[in-house]
Amino acid sequence: MKQDRELDGIDRKILAALQEDAALSHAELAERVGASSASCWRRIKALEAAGYLTRTVRLVDAQKVGRGVNVLCNVRMRSHDKDARDAFERFVKGRPEIVECFSMSGDWDYLLRIVVADVADYNDFLMRTVLGHPGVAGASSHFALAMTKYTTALPV
């Protein structure tokens, strides 16, 4: 994405504050960043227009919704042609259990983060869904024992 504007100190404070709590009112945000409420509103609109700010979401507690098991799954494709990659990436986007997907360099083609209820749930998902995809040649799974850090905030 082309950056349409330079970020100044107030912009960076706004970005940091909104990453921490997107529900802040303009008045609360203004107080935190040292600007007026109207100025914050204008800056937020400009940051949205320039693509710095995208959608607003609320984070859900995975444990409370029965998705407390995180599995990192390496996937190897049968073919690396564009159609095979496109088909796999469409498949990934359609599966809510797959919350992150990275195209990788090295021995594996993709790295997926999959959230499930338990090991049996993952086994079923892996065997029927991931390995059932015609483009997948193999997979290797790694179960997270604990999450020592999780953030959606980027350093600004």
The predicted structure's pLDDT at residue 4: 59
Do 87 and 135 touch, CB atoms closer than 8 A? yes
The residue among 150, 154, 155, 126 whose CA lies nearest residue 59 is 150
Report which of 21, 17, 14 is spatially closest to residue 41, judged by C-alpha positions. Answer: 14
Give domain limits for the chain.
Answer: 9-49, 69-143
- Tell me: the pLDDT tens digits for 114-124? 999 999 999 99
In CATH, what is the architecture of 69-143?
Answer: 2-Layer Sandwich (3.30)
> What pLDDT was estimated at residue 5?
73
Report the CATH fold assignment for 9-49.
Answer: Arc Repressor Mutant, subunit A (1.10.10)
Q: 89 phi and psi, to 5 degrees?
A: -65, -35
pTM to 2 decimals?
Answer: 0.89
Nearest to 53 by CA among 131, 118, 1: 1
Per-residue pLDDT tens digits for 130-149: 999 999 999 999 999 999 99
Helix (H) / strand (E) element for 104: namely none
Find, among 75, 6, 106, the residue nearest to 46 by Cα: 6
The answer to whether 9-49 and 69-143 have equal CATH topology is: no
